Amino acid sequence: MTAFTRSLRRKSARRIAAVSVVAAGALLLSACGDDMEGMDHGSGSSSASATADAGAGAKAGDFNDADVTFAQMMIPHHEQALEMAKLADGRASDSEIKKLAGQIEQAQDPEIKTMKGWLESWGKPTAMESMPGMDHGSGDGMMSDADMDELKAMKGTEFDKMFAEMMIEHHNGAITMAKDEQKSGTNADAKKMAGDIVTSQSAEVKQLQSILDRL
């Protein structure tokens, strides 16, 4: 068992708690918004109205607090994934790891630009304010500076194994965030991206686990 693997287990409980705080906050804000919007229609129809707003009938320009939180959290998450993927050049020895790193760069860089565009059009900052206890190493699948430094120091098979371990955890964090957006978001484009993230990164997690099993 590598030092990084032991570190992941120690941090797991803290990360789950931190994710729960963020998810609960997003759900609360979304629920408040839905209640206010449904007041004129009576309590009996507010639930149906909220469901309709979150469905296919929502306009691309509509958004709620869950959409904003999703974009603000996913941007730095994607940025770190890109940083990890770029480290594979000159360090990775496994051809499948190299190919997957390239795919991650191609997929996530355009998504970062798209999410920043959403936030600008919504009049929201591209970075969310820091929350108590939230930093690299305790967030939703985010790696600490020490984790990144350790990965940078690896080469060959050791790099391949650590990259796969880190990216599995990183992807699982993104999947959790994306599923929260699917449940609580209103913006049609953001919900679609969330669905794409769940599908693509779930497949990559399986691929990465397969790589680990054979290394």
pLDDT at residue 3 greater than cutoff 80: no
**pLDDT grade for 47, boundaries at 50, 70 and 90:** very low
**pLDDT grade for 127, boundaries at 50, 70 and 90:** confident
Q: Return d(Cα 180, Cα 23) in angstroms, integer.
A: 7
Q: What is the reported pLDDT for 193? A: 97
Residue with tokens 């994306």: 178
Convert 116-145 to b/e letters by CB count within 10 Å (16 or more is b). Answer: eebbeeeebeeebeeeeebeebebbbbbee
Q: What is the reported pLDDT for 60? A: 53
* Tens digit of each residue's pLDDT (9 = 90 or more) over 53-96: 434 444 557 999 999 999 999 999 999 999 999 999 999 999 99
Q: What is the reported pLDDT for 85? A: 96
Mean pLDDT for the chain?
A: 79
Convert 63-99 to b/e letters by CB count within 10 Å (16 or more is b). Answer: bbbbbbbbbbbbbbbbebbbebbebbeebbebebbee
Q: What is the reported pLDDT for 15? A: 46
Q: Return d(Cα 180, Cα 182) in angstroms, integer.
A: 5
* Tens digit of each residue's pLDDT (9 = 90 or more) over 135-184: 444 457 899 999 999 999 999 999 999 999 999 999 999 999 999 999 99
Q: What is the reported pLDDT for 4? A: 56
pLDDT at residue 197 greater than cutoff 50: yes
- Domains contained in the chain, CATH given: 3-34+63-214 (1.20.1260.10)
pTM: 0.70
pLDDT at residue 52 greater than cutoff 90: no
The rounded percent of the chain whose pLDDT value lies above 70 is: 67
Neighbours of 115 (CB within 10 A): 22
State the average pLDDT over residues 10-20.
45
Residue with tokens 């149906």: 48
Nearest to 191 by CA among 74, 104, 33: 74
Q: What is the reported pLDDT for 10? A: 46
**pLDDT grade for 2, boundaries at 50, 70 and 90:** low
